[in-house]
């Protein structure tokens, strides 16, 4: 019941359409019964052909035995008046109309639910995607991209089928079961009581299968996430895989994950598919029992039920098995969907600790300085920044250098609040960054990373990211400052050229210059440059470095650099080692100190 409630909570916004679904299903179930009940007139023609004998009148009453007698009387009267042959024509035409109406209302119910199921998928995927965008960078440290993609695709699809199952459980199958069960009671309440007493056995067996289904479904979806993650990593690292002749190794790794998923899904499908034959077999057992019990009543004439109504009873009961079996399948769908919905809920319920305070302020412009005050930061129990202090005045360039893993990138990521400090504070013009609105804070900054982040879109849209209102002239001006305009003009469609996945159609230097053009267009007060030239060849580095120098003019810049020649003119250089500042000063003063910075300079062969 808990799983059913959680699934139904998703469709609250579609209640008006659910009422239409209820009405159409109610009508479809009624006409379904009538189409089956139409067998009685045929049996009446066969078993009680029209005679000239007087037919004893019977009055109408809701009491089951009286109602059956009244129907029997009317049928005999109709057959006598129209004749057997003519009556068959009338009854045949009536059956066609009844089946037509049944299927029309069935289609209308499907038509109605189509909007609900598609809308639920759209809304749920949108909620999860927006949550993923809002969650802090730290959330993704412990998550696999493949697993997240699996949740947005396969888990959402399972929830869609769960929604269909839940709605059918409540608003479709119960109508059919109630209508047919009522007709069975009218035909013979004794026989129906016997049937109801033996049905709980089949229900118990089916519920035992369902309990084992949910846990297997959760494991299967998780393993599918691992499979997708391997595919995603393979596509992203194909050059490295081929360069190291690791095709066989990566194929083996994928095959192992794929085989594990295969075994889990095999167990899942076997359990799921067992429901239909088991329920059908149990239904046949119940029908056999009814045939024996009811047949004995007809032969012994212990109940007021004749042959034609007994045959109708068997036909109606067989029709009751179909919605009962569908009810079981819908229950299994809900079980599987609840497992997927729990995986989606893990994302939706994830806490975003990096949010605006209620009293968060807005800073119109950066006026004075950025100050790091006794900064500490830890990844879990591992402290990577330990008590760092420095100031970065407006217009200054501060460079962070040192060995990889020392904490330079983390130190830069703390400024736009990609992470929050564990201890200490970062001040912008005297305001703690936690006291400023996040969008306002990040609006003051432009970021250029070592690996440029570009999207499978046109050059124009990549440069205009975050600034959709920028004119083409503004974009071209930014590209000129970034030394990108010339090569863009030479592309097939110029600024409208699609650059492929992650900018794969461009060279490394071209991609980096597009990222710089994007930062130029934003016109930020503060720049964060994270090793923006370290992955480039000499010619590309020269063009990119010139673009960076154009970008940095008159701006406050925090630069992370491995190539120390690019930060010789920085106002302040901090040498970071194991999360601490071990040296601080200008290029010349640090050279004079003959310390760690001097060693790094000597290793790179410049002075």
State the DSSP string of 490-515.
TSTTGGG-B--GGGTTS-HHHHHHHH
For residue 181, pLDDT over 80 is answered with: yes
Encoding tokens for residue 573?
């250089």
pLDDT given at position 426 = 94
575: three-class secondary structure by DSSP: strand
Give the chain's mean pLDDT. Answer: 79
User: Contact, 105 vs 35, CB < 8 A?
Assistant: no
Total residues belonging to the chain: 607
For residue 436, pLDDT over 70 is answered with: yes
pLDDT-derived band at 372, boundaries 50, 70, 90: very high
Tens of pLDDT, residues 493-509:
999 999 887 788 888 88
Residues 6+ apart with CB under 8 A from 134: 352
What is the 8-class DSSP label of residue 141? Answer: G
For residue 425, pLDDT over 90 is answered with: yes
Distance CA 571, CA 390 (A): 12
The residue with greater pLDDT, 10 or 475, is 475
Distance CA 297, CA 291 (A): 10
Q: What is the dihedral of CA 32, 35, 40, 42, to 10 degrees?
A: -160
Q: What pTM did the predictor assign?
A: 0.72
- What are the distances in angstroms from CA 488 to CA 40, 475, 510, 524? 80, 11, 9, 23
Tens of pLDDT, residues 129-144:
888 888 888 887 777 7
Distance CA 151, CA 131 (A): 13
Tens of pLDDT, residues 65-113:
666 667 666 777 777 777 767 777 777 788 888 889 888 998 888 888 8
pLDDT-derived band at 569, boundaries 50, 70, 90: confident
Nearest to 534 by CA among 513, 560, 511: 560
**What percentage of the chain exceeds 90 in pLDDT?**
12
Q: Among the ranges 179-193, 221-235, 289-303, 485-499, which has the highest mean pLDDT value?
A: 485-499
Radius of gyration of the chain (CA): 37
Lowest-pLDDT choice from 10-14, 389-393, 429-433, 499-503: 10-14
**Sheet bearing 445-448, strands edge to edge:** 445-448, 526-530, 556-560, 397-401, 572-577, 580-585
pLDDT given at position 558 = 92
Q: Among the ranges 165-179, 248-262, 394-408, which has the highest mean pLDDT value?
A: 394-408
345 phi-psi bin (left φ>0, alpha ψ -120 to 50, beta other): alpha
pLDDT given at position 26 = 86
Average pLDDT over residues 32-43: 71
For residue 120, pLDDT over 80 is answered with: yes
For residue 424, pLDDT over 90 is answered with: yes
Q: What is the dihedral of CA 357, 360, 365, 366, to 10 degrees?
A: -50
pLDDT given at position 52 = 44
User: Contact, 352 vs 400, CB < 8 A?
Assistant: no
For residue 260, pLDDT over 90 is answered with: no
Lowest-pLDDT choice from 269-273, 455-459, 470-474, 480-484: 269-273
pLDDT given at position 274 = 67
Distance CA 397, CA 566 (A): 12
Distance CA 203, CA 197 (A): 11
For residue 389, pLDDT over 90 is answered with: yes
For residue 433, pLDDT over 90 is answered with: yes
Give the CA angle between residues 521, 522, 526 to the nearest 5°.
125
pLDDT given at position 570 = 87
């Amino acid at each position: 019941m808990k799983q059913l409630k959680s699934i139904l909570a998703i469709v609250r916004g579609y209640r008006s359409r659910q009422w239409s679904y209820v009405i159409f299903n109610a009508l479809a179930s009624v006409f379904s019964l009538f189409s089956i009940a139409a067998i009685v007139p045929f049996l009446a023609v066969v078993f009680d052909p029209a005679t000239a004998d007087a037919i004893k009148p019977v009055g109408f009453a809701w009491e089951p035995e009286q109602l059956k007698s009244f129907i029997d009387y009317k049928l005999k009267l109709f057959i006598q008046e129209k004749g057997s042959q003519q009556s068959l024509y009338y009854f045949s035409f009536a059956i066609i109309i009844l089946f037509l109406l049944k299927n029309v209302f069935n289609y209308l119910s499907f038509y109605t639910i189509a909007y609900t199921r598609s809308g639920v998928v759209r809304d749920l995927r949108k909620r999860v995607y927006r949550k993923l965008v809002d969650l802090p960078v730290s959330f993704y440290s412990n998550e696999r991209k493949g697993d997240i993609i699996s949740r947005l695709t396969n888990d959402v699809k399972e929830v869609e089928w769960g929604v269909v199952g839940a709605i059918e459980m409540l608003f479709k199958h119960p109508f059919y079961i109630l209508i047919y069960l009522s007709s069975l009671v009218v035909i013979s309440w004794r026989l129906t009581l016997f049937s109801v007493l033996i049905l709980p056995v089949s229900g118990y067996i089916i519920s035992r299968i369902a309990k084992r289904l949910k846990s297997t479904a959760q494991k299967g979806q998780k393993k599918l996430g691992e499979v997708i993650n391997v595919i995603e990593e393979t596509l992203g690292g194909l050059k490295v895989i081929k360069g190291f002749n690791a095709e066989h190794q990566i194929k083996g790794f994928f095959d192992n994950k794929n085989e594990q998923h295969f075994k889990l899904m095999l167990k899942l499908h076997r359990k799921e598919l067992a429901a239909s034959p088991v329920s059908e077999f149990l239904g046949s057992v119940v029908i056999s029992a009814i045939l024996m019990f009811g047949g004995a009543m007809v032969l012994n004439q212990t109940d007021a039920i004749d042959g034609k109504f007994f045959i109708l009873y068997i036909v109606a009961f067989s029709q009751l098995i179909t919605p009962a079996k569908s009810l079981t399948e819908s229950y299994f769908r809900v079980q599987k969907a609840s497992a997927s919905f729990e995986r989606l809920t893990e994302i939706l319920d994830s806490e975003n600790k990096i949010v605006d305070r209620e009293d968060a302020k807005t800073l119109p412009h950066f006026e004075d300085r950025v100050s790091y005050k006794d900064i500490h930061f830890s990844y879990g129990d591992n402290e990577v920044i330990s008590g760092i202090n420095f100031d970065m005045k407006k217009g200054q360039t501060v460079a962070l250098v040192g060995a990889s893993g020392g904490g330079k990138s983390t130190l830069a990521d703390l400024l736009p609040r990609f992470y929050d400090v564990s201890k200490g504070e970062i001040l912008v013009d005297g305001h703690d960054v936690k006291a400023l609105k996040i969008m306002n804070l990040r609006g003051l900054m432009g970021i250029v990373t070592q690996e440029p982040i570009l999207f499978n879109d046109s050059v124009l849209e990549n440069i205009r990211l975050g600034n959709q209102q920028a004119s083409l002239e503004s974009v071209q001006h930014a590209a000129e400052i970034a030394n990108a305009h010339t090569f863009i003009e030479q592309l097939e469609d110029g600024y409208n050229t699609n650059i492929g996945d992650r900018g794969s159609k461009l060279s490394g230097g071209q991609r980096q210059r597009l990222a710089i053009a994007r930062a130029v267009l934003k016109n930020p007060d503060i720049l964060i440059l994270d090793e923006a030239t370290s992955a480039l060849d000499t010619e590309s580095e020269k063009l990119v470095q010139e673009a960076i120098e154009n970008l940095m003019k008159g701006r406050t810049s925090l630069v992370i650099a491995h190539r120390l020649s690019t930060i010789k003119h920085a106002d302040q250089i901090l040498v970071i080692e194991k999360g601490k500042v071990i040296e601080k000063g200008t290029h010349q003063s640090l050279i004079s100190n003959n310390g760690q910075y001097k060693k790094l300079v000597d290793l790179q062969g410049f002075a």
